[in-house]
Amino acid sequence: MAHFTLIPLTLLLAQAPETLPTMLKRIEQRYNTTATLKSEFEQTMAVAQGRRVTERGILYLRKPGRMRWEYAQPTGKLFLCDAKRIYYVVPSARRVEVSEMRESDDLRAPLAFLLGKLDFARDFNRFEHSRPGTQWKIRAYPKSAKSPYEYVEFFAEPDGRLSVVAVKSKDGSTMSYAFQSELRNVPLAASLFEFQKPEGFEILQLRAN
């Protein structure tokens, strides 16, 4: 008589080979169930002639629609979204640029999924991927021809955490964001997302084209 061993479904899933759809769903699940997030970030912009500019700070997110990029390097720089407006504090010019929150051409747009519902199938129409070590490297091409970026690269850990997001702009420049020390669903004061005008700074209201 044949003997059969019952294997729990969870174990079967764990043993099953990882697929790209599985990993995309894991990333979506992680960030769609994140109400708040705090993370250290390193932002690097690569432009023509190989010039690179690197800045660092702390990112705070709170759904719906709020984010705060607080820079330690350079000191005083701030990018704040309060779900209605975007405030960009430029300490070197002693200026604050204010714009309405919208689908803007700012290169943070590919990170806006952190504020809403992440849906790869909705926003992208083609994917390429590789497996450098335990990480997944996923290159995603946007559906919209009007998108200001050519593609986005997501570097994901096995649990779905995004460690790097790199954006290739249509002008040839690249902006990458490396994240570490991520904390999810932690208490964040509402005041973090309220704009306070720095003393002596000019307020410049930007208009949509």
Q: What is the pLDDT of residues 147-185, one digit of tens each?
A: 888 999 999 999 999 999 999 988 888 999 999 999 999
Is the model's pLDDT at 208 over the cut of 90?
no
Is the model's pLDDT at 72 over the cut of 90?
yes
- Residue 64: asked if its preceding bond is cis (omega within 30°), the reply is yes
- Give the pLDDT band (50/70/90) at residue 137: very high
Alpha carbon distance 92, 169 (integer Å): 25
Is the model's pLDDT at 114 over the cut of 80?
no
Q: What percent of the chain has pLDDT over 70?
A: 84
Question: Cα angle at 32 between 29 and 37, to 5 degrees?
Answer: 115
Alpha carbon distance 52, 40 (integer Å): 20
Asked if 113 contacts 65 with a C-beta cutoff of 8 angstroms, the reply is: no
Alpha carbon distance 64, 115 (integer Å): 6
Phi, psi of 73 (to 5 degrees): -140, 105
Q: Which CATH number fits domain 19-183+198-205: 2.50.20.10, 2.102.10.10, 2.30.22.10, 2.40.50.140?
A: 2.50.20.10
Asked if 190 contacts 42 with a C-beta cutoff of 8 angstroms, the reply is: no
Is the model's pLDDT at 131 over the cut of 80?
yes
Q: Which two tokens stand for residue 122?
A: 């909705």
Average pLDDT of the residues of the chain: 85
Alpha carbon distance 61, 81 (integer Å): 9
Asked if 177 contacts 162 with a C-beta cutoff of 8 angstroms, the reply is: no
Alpha carbon distance 136, 159 (integer Å): 10
Residue type, 189: A
Mean pLDDT of 55-82: 93
Is the model's pLDDT at 12 over the cut of 90?
no
Alpha carbon distance 149, 24 (integer Å): 20
Domain ranges (residues) in the chain: 19-183+198-205
